[in-house]
Structure 1
Amino acid sequence: MALRSGTSSKVSEDGRGAGHERSTRSNESEEDTLAPGRSDLLVTGEDLSGRLSELLVGMQPQVAVHYVDQDELLAIFTGGAVPGEGIEEPEIIVVAVSLLDMATLSWMRRLIASSRLPMLAIVKAHAEQRSALRRRAQEVGAIDCLLYGELTPALLEAVIVHARNHIHQSARLAELRDRFSLAIRGARDGMWEWDLVRSRVFYSQRWRELMGIGSGPVEPTIESWLSLVHPQDVDDLRGNLENHIKGLLPVHEHEHRVRDSEGDWRWVLSRGVVHRDIDGRAMRMAGSLTDLTPYRQRELNIRERSREDKLTKLPDRPVLFERLARAVELARAHEDFEFVVMLVEVDRMTQLRDSYGVVEADAAFATIAARLREALGSECALFRFEGDKLAILLEDVDHPGVGTHVADQIHRVVADPFEVAGALSFTTVSIGMTSSAHDYAKVEEVISDVSAATDTARERGRNRHEIFDTSMRIEARTLLALEMSLRQAIDEGELRLHYQPIYTIAAGRTPEESRWVIAGFEALMRWEHPERGLVSPGEFIPIAEDTGLIIPMGRWAIRQAARTLHGWHEEFGRTNLSLSVNLSAKQVDDPLLLETIDTILAETSLDPACFKLELTESVMMDRVDEVTELLQQIRSRGVEIWIDDFGTGYSSLSYLQRFPVDGLKIDRSFVMQLDGSERSEAMVRTIIALAQGLGLHVIAEGIEERFQAEQLGRLGCERFQGFMLGKPMPESRIRELLASLD
């Protein structure tokens, strides 16, 4: 930028100087800052450079006065223009005008904001306008406004010294502000200031980050803070603040939990002090907020590791009771706080221990616990409850129904096979759950109800979850009534057998000419209640087994099935049709089982090879030697023995050759995995190959899709059963089906 000729007045002897350099060092004294040198004063508006030079000729440190056009001056500070020759470091801007109108004031505000230099206004006006003009100038940021007619060396020097002091103090203030800001950032604390007179609170950006608010709007009230505090902590925090304001506590210091933007609870430490006026009245309060979550988590981990279950590495039962006690207290104190408790019982652990020993069974249980811990994450608190049970606590849930979603996830996780002593095995879980919706007052009440729900899930067939309701408290009476009804059903002939067809494929000259052919049926028991209609087997079979009623029911089923099959042979001439009947664990102990079989075979003259008995692996693995001897006696009569639900037991491969069996039924869980790909058929292919190697027949059950049957056929499966081919039907429907085949 070129200066106008003759508009620069040199106050120093040689017109040059070292210039004025502002220092920001904290240990620099004011005398150092004002050391002799030269500073530049920029004049704009009307050209008063000559007049000002004359007035400042004796001032120390020396001042060089330069005139700069308004547009050029603005370009220096806003557009990056280079100052003209002789201007080393501008220190003060003087605006000389005849009138302080809105346009001039706006331009001054813009220049002050961009230059960050002190500005002095000089106006040609009357003395009575002095106060009003000074007020206008200072409103836009100028340090003062002088009247042209009142300019004197002393007045001008005083204003410039004031400007220099302003620069110095601003630099010191900026330095202190930077140091304070750096310290706050290093401490990672959030700052807050509470104006107690106006009831307004300022929250720093870091405070917002700790609360997970970010740059979003925050109401400047104390409730913006308290509304995020954990229900169990908020009253204590409010009381601590109030007691400090009243002077009952020397300082405010309080640890509490706040909810962040992810919905998680974070531990924080709030500190603060009150500022009081001369009369002792609380005027404002300021403090900080420190994130304690990492330290709290480490402390919790150390404490819980000292009280964890050795096998699963999970917190033990006492830890659960402590956490649950706090949850019960919170739920009673705050209506919007809800919790869910779940009890997960791993099924068939007794059979695992009997088959493989305690060490291997415990290792399997630990594997399941580790799977659940990884799958459920930190939102679900997982505990070792007792024996074969795990407990889960969900706190501050949006709705108790969230427990159902967690239960579904648990079933999926547990369904994957696991290895026991080098063999693949499977298991399921029975889950019970309850929630704070039942208004619990004691931990013992929660445990009692969730245990009842778990028992219900187990009694209703396992591999399921049940939500507690008050009816479970009277379930014992209900079960007793159902047992009495079942006894009556046996006496009054309310039991029925339904029959599900089993098919084979008759090969044609071409694949297109192949057709489905009925090979036999499986007999399935049903209860036709006079009032309720058909009662699900899952409801009455467990009761029958627990009460021993399954023994007379089983005898009846064997006799009825054999008579029905004999009738079909006689009526339709299809003597190759077979019929399967299931044997339960209690029936294996029936001392009259062999007599029942002998009697009905003699009565009907039925070919024993057409009559089959099915047992699950778990039944066969209970007292292996005794069961093996019984099966040999049954098989010696010509009756075939089949293993039902093969692949879901515990010693499928290691004990298979010991049992006198004729065939395997592939469990529906493997069939359901078939999707047409080679990967999905790995387990089924292995089972079929194993059966063929041992000379055993194979039936696949649970077929619901045609592509599953086709894939099984390609793998060498002989017989097929499932809803796709036919659902269980009463005898009358089967007779119609057989008649239609003639």
Structure 2
Amino acid sequence: LHHPENLLRDAQTAMYRARSQGLGHCEIFATGMLTANLKQFNLEQAMRQGIEAEEFVLYYQPIVHLQTGMIMGFEALIRWQHPQEGFIAPGMFIPLAEETGLIIPLGDWICQQAIAQVRQWQAQFPHRPLTVSINLSGRQFAQADFGEKLTQLITNGGIDPQGLKFEITESMVMGNLEAAIDLMLRIKSLGCKISLDDFGTGYSSLSQLRRLPLDTLKVDQSFVRAMGDSREDLAIVEMVINLSHTLAMEVIAEGVETEADAALLRSLRCDFGQGYLWDRPLPATAATARLRDQPDQPDQSVAPEHKE
């Protein structure tokens, strides 16, 4: 027999599954959903404990100047080192953190740790204009007090804020464009930079894009990886690079895995590259070692021409 409380539980389970799939989606309850829900509940509890137990760690993937080969910065990427399960992939826990709201304390921790790392690198390499990029979540960006939080973190961190760049996505700003612009201007007023991640995969128009106070566009890795075999993808990559320069922005190509891709991007006058060709995401100690291995200044004979 189906008891009323079980029916309500099952209906709620189907409702939450439908919500997770996006607006306008519907789901019919299946018993397997209960198992999935239990796993999700257990993961959520483990994540709460992991935040308190400091099981999370930041890794840093180099961002390289394509003309000189110099490391110009890093993207900070979170990893979860579970004491029993080992490393848990971000794709397993980031969506759940967004759904449950745990992304707020997790995001605060990421900002604190990244700022501490910026402070260390600015002290160790005072003549290197390094930038650390931090991915912001939609929930973080929508916080009414995010600007105040960030101001306090930067003040307490004692860093040159030009060493921080915040990465946002198109979907985060298009819901409420005016509010997004206000917050971006607040971030810029602190001296930080802003990058638009995965550009080309969203729905922003060029008229909206030109209104955003951005410093950098990042070409999505799906286009970069396919550009060697697809004229359409190559055209998109070239368009984004040219658009960035027209709007006085820098451009980073993500997902660069071969020297042929890097050479093609150089020929298109792309500014920076990021990908496994140079390094996977590294622990802070290994990233620091990479910086020590490079001179403070590139060989000027291969430096790019200055762009106005």
Match of 2:57 among 496, 518, 533: 496
Q: What one-letter code is carried by the residue in structure 1 that aligns with 2:49? A: Q
Partner of 1:50: none
Partner of 2:109: 556
1:519 is the counterpart of 2:77: no
Q: What one-letter code is carried by the residue in structure 1 that aligns with 2:40? A: L
Partner of 2:9: none
Partner of 2:264: 711
Q: Which secondary structure state, in structure 1, belongs to the residue aligned with residue 206 of structure 2?
A: coil
Partner of 2:289: 736
1:484 is the counterpart of 2:45: yes
The whole-number CA distance in structure 2 between the counterparts of 1:472 and 1:709 is 45
CA distance change for structure 1 residues 648 and 673 in 2, over 3 Å: closer, same or farther?
Answer: same
Cα displacement (A) at 1:678: 5.5
The whole-number CA distance in structure 2 between the counterparts of 1:349 and 1:649 is 15
Cα displacement (A) at 1:473: 3.4
- Contact 2:256–2:262 under 8 Å retained in 1: yes
The 5-angstrom pairing of residues 188-587 of structure 1 reads: 387=24, 448-449=29-30, 472-506=33-67, 515-587=68-140
Q: What one-letter code is carried by the residue in structure 2 that aligns with 1:711? A: L
Cα displacement (A) at 1:604: 3.1
Partner of 2:300: none
Deviations 1:420-447 (A, max 9, x none): xxxxxxxxxxxxxxxxxxxxxxxx9xx5
CA distance change for structure 1 residues 677 and 537 in 2, over 3 Å: closer, same or farther?
Answer: closer
CA distance change for structure 1 residues 548 and 667 in 2, over 3 Å: closer, same or farther?
Answer: same
- Contact 1:568–1:574 under 8 Å retained in 2: no
Q: What one-letter code is carried by the residue in structure 2 that aligns with 1:539? A: M
Percent identity reads 39
Partner of 1:404: none
1:672 is the counterpart of 2:228: no
1:683 is the counterpart of 2:236: yes
CA distance change for structure 1 residues 677 and 539 in 2, over 3 Å: closer, same or farther?
Answer: closer
The 5-angstrom pairing of residues 67-82 of structure 1 reads: none
1:594 is the counterpart of 2:155: no
The whole-number CA distance in structure 2 between the counterparts of 1:692 and 1:491 is 44
Cα displacement (A) at 1:605: 2.8
Q: Which secondary structure state, in structure 2, belongs to the residue aligned with residue 524 of structure 1?
A: strand
More strand by proportion, 1 or 2? 1
- Contact 1:617–1:652 under 8 Å retained in 2: no
Q: What one-letter code is carried by the residue in structure 2 that aligns with 1:673? A: A
Q: What one-letter code is carried by the residue in structure 2 that aligns with 1:565? A: V
The whole-number CA distance in structure 2 between the counterparts of 1:574 and 1:483 is 43
Deviations 1:706-728 (A, max 9, x none): 11111111111000001111111
Partner of 2:189: 636
More helix by proportion, 1 or 2? 2
Alpha-carbon RMSD: 2.2
Unaligned runs of 5+ in 2: 1-17, 296-308
Q: What one-letter code is carried by the residue in structure 1 that aligns with 2:103? A: I
Partner of 2:276: 723
The 5-angstrom pairing of residues 163-182 of structure 1 reads: none
Higher Cα radius of gyration? 1
The whole-number CA distance in structure 2 between the counterparts of 1:574 and 1:734 is 17
Match of 2:201 among 627, 644, 648: 648
Cα displacement (A) at 1:697: 0.9
Aligned residue pairs, count: 277
Q: What one-letter code is carried by the residue in structure 1 that aligns with 2:266? A: G
- Contact 1:497–1:557 under 8 Å retained in 2: yes
The whole-number CA distance in structure 2 between the counterparts of 1:589 and 1:549 is 14
Q: What one-letter code is carried by the residue in structure 2 that aligns with 1:606? A: I
Structure 1 length-normalised TM = 0.36
- Contact 1:497–1:731 under 8 Å retained in 2: yes
Partner of 1:698: 251
Cα displacement (A) at 1:732: 1.6
Cα displacement (A) at 1:541: 0.5
Q: What one-letter code is carried by the residue in structure 1 that aligns with 2:48? A: R
CA distance change for structure 1 residues 714 and 486 in 2, over 3 Å: closer, same or farther?
Answer: same
Deviations 1:614-645 (A, max 9, x none): 00101111221211111111111111111000
Partner of 2:298: none
Moved over 6 A (4+): none
Match of 2:160 among 594, 604, 607: 607
Structure 2 length-normalised TM = 0.84
Unaligned runs of 5+ in 1: 1-344, 351-386, 390-443, 450-469, 507-514
The whole-number CA distance in structure 1 between the counterparts of 2:216 and 2:205 is 13
The whole-number CA distance in structure 2 between the counterparts of 1:615 and 1:574 is 28
Cα displacement (A) at 1:388: 5.7
CA distance change for structure 1 residues 574 and 483 in 2, over 3 Å: closer, same or farther?
Answer: farther
Cα displacement (A) at 1:349: 7.5
Q: Which secondary structure state, in structure 1, belongs to the residue aligned with residue 251 of structure 2?
A: strand
1:626 is the counterpart of 2:173: no
The whole-number CA distance in structure 1 between the counterparts of 2:190 and 2:255 is 30
CA distance change for structure 1 residues 622 and 679 in 2, over 3 Å: closer, same or farther?
Answer: closer
